[in-house]
Amino acid sequence: METLSLRDFAIIDQRPLELAVIVPVLNERDNVAPMIGKLALALAGIEWEVIFVDDGSSDGTPERVEEIAREDRRVRLIRRVGRRGLSSAVVEGFMSSIAPVLAVIDGDLQHDETVLPKLYHAIAQDGSDIAVGTRYSDGGSIGEWSESRARISRIATQLAAPITKSQISDPMSGFFAIRRDRFIDATPHLSTAGFKILLDVMASSPQKLKAAEVPYTFRTRIAGDSKLDSAVAVAFAELVLEKTVGRWIPAKLVMFGGIGALGSIVHLSVLWAALNPLGQSFAAAQSAGVAMAMLFNFTLNNILTYRDRRLAGWKWVKGLASFALVCSLGAVANVGVGSILHGQSTEWWLAGLAGAVVGSIWNYAATSWFTWSRK
């Protein structure tokens, strides 16, 4: 019997796939069709596909993508359930394609799609590993941003610059293309924390990436709502921590410890207020201080440190109870370790610090497992 090869099934006049464009979306229904139309015009002459990665839109975005995809095989959709986050969405989109060059563009039409061919050719023809759409080199612009947003962006760019291995003017850009093999090399080291996948990729790559930059002007959103909020700043801070001290101390442990330090201030403030103006006994004042500090720490950790596992409703109540129980055991460990060391003639401050460190590590590890478990 004659053996058939893959070539027997190939369409002779079909060119191989050259570029995959990943579009992470959340409630961008009105931008789907215009995006595809703009890509078709901009990428004429390049064999491309577009992959929309939807994070649970409620406005009909995935249904609109599916409707168009039935008529256009270049259009694909990934629907994510129980998973959210811009960086992880881009990673899933990249991993779903076998195109030799991968690009990402926002689904809100604020990135200039006419720049995509230049990003592609900088890699496919000029030999760059990564090509970045930049707002900060000659010819680039942040468009109509307010002064406050521009200032925040400049500060973030300055903070991000030291952890990138290649010198680029806009490490916070969300508009870039990369060789697929270079991305695969970086994948095992990605944290996928935060919204800035470019910064994550460049900081995680095992080798220095040869980078090219293409200037563009950032546009004003036409449809849909902006996703920028305080969570973006927190996610960025976590990513910077992950790529700086993360090799020694988990970023979440640093955040947990920082909130614990703030909780100590809350504890002492409540203790002072209960003792002095209110005239309560020390035992009552101390109890109030501990209770308020635990409530403060739990609430802030739930909002910031574990925002990806945030508890709400009845789960919030149960989480607070488990947090209080775990931290009570941590307090016992704190006192026990400190007492043992002090009994061995260790300086009082060193014994106290050791107890606090042991208690904090216990609280972080135990609450990660019991209070904010991924299960």
What are the distances in angstroms from CA 25 to CA 51, 221, 227?
A: 10, 14, 10
Confidence of residue 235 (pLDDT cuts 50, 70, 90): low
What are the distances in angstroms from CA 170 to CA 58, 213, 296?
A: 32, 9, 37
d(CA 108, CA 104): 12
The backbone torsions φ and ψ at residue 178, rounded to the nearest 5 degrees and listed phi first, read -150, 150
d(CA 209, CA 182): 8
Range list of H helices, 79-224: 86-95, 116-124, 147-160, 180-186, 197-204
Going by DSSP bridges, is the β-strand pair 101-104/176-179 parallel, antiparallel, or unpaired?
Answer: antiparallel
* pLDDT per residue as tens digits for the range 217-234: 887 755 544 444 455 566
Confidence of residue 374 (pLDDT cuts 50, 70, 90): low
> What angle do the packed helices 251-275 and 348-370 form, to 10 degrees?
110
Residue among 281, 296, 94 at smallest CA distance from 201: 94
* pLDDT per residue as tens digits for the range 105-151: 999 888 999 999 999 999 999 999 999 998 887 777 776 666 766 66
* pLDDT per residue as tens digits for the range 180-216: 999 999 998 887 655 578 888 888 888 889 999 999 9
HSE of 11, CA atoms in CB hemisphere, 13 A: 5
d(CA 309, CA 366): 15
